[in-house]
């Protein structure tokens, strides 16, 4: 069982640590998702590898009509659909086609950023670790927590957080960015309408 004082690692390091192509790809993913270090990326990869390993094992067992394999297959698909990684009608081939980004997109840090509760991925991490975010009514301080689809709407600023105030500087920055994104869209729609009107007058 091992000593509880020395828990086993939940990830494995690359076999060839000095491959330039892999290093560049990892740096890009770490930057894109605002990860603290590559260790967080490797932990996500370990989660993905466990899904793939289970899917390959089930493929082999289903060929021999193993009834237990069918039940495990259904449970795995249900689990992945709860996290919105796959649909309810997904196959084992769909599981094998999952990427590390599919896993990282379900992290609480990423969901907070996608919901416009933070201006950047790194700020989303900071807000979570400082206790400004609640999930399903409870304060959560774990950026790497995988979020089920049914809980996405419950992710809000914590009731005790100063960010509840709409005049908070961070809220104002987010509001300004949102308005800046909407204005070009409105301008494009107006330009299209004017162009259509000019074409109508020419006819």
Q: Per mean pLDDT, which range of 84-93, 135-144, 194-203 is the poorest?
A: 194-203
CB 93, CB 62: distance < 8 Å: no
pLDDT band, very low/low/confident/very high, at 139 (cuts 50, 70, 90): very high
What pLDDT was estimated at residue 201?
Answer: 44
pLDDT band, very low/low/confident/very high, at 48 (cuts 50, 70, 90): very high
What pLDDT was estimated at residue 5?
Answer: 66
Average pLDDT, the chain: 87
Entry pTM: 0.82
What pLDDT was estimated at residue 72?
Answer: 94
């Amino acid at each position: 069982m091992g000593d509880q004082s020395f828990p086993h690692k939940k990830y494995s390091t690359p076999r060839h640590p000095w491959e330039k192509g892999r290093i560049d790809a990892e740096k890009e993913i770490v930057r894109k998702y605002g990860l603290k270090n590559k260790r967080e990326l490797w932990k996500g990869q370990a989660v993905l590898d466990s899904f793939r390993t289970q899917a390959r094992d089930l493929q082999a067992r289903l060929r021999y009509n193993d009834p237990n394999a069918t039940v495990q297959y259904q449970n795995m698909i249900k689990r992945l659909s709860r996290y919105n990684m796959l649909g309810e009608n997904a196959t084992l081939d769909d599981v094998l086609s999952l990427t590390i980004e599919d896993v990282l997109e379900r992290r609480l840090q990423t969901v907070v950023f996608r919901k416009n509760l933070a201006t950047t991925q790194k700020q989303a991490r900071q807000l979570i670790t400082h206790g400004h975010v609640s999930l399903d009514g409870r304060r959560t301080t774990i950026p790497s927590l995988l979020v089920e689809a049914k809980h996405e709407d419950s992710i809000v600023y914590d009731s005790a957080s100063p960010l509840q105030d709409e005049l908070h500087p961070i809220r104002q920055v987010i509001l300004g960015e949102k308005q800046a994104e909407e204005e070009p869209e409105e301008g494009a729609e107006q330009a299209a309408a004017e162009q259509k009107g000019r074409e109508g007058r020419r006819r």
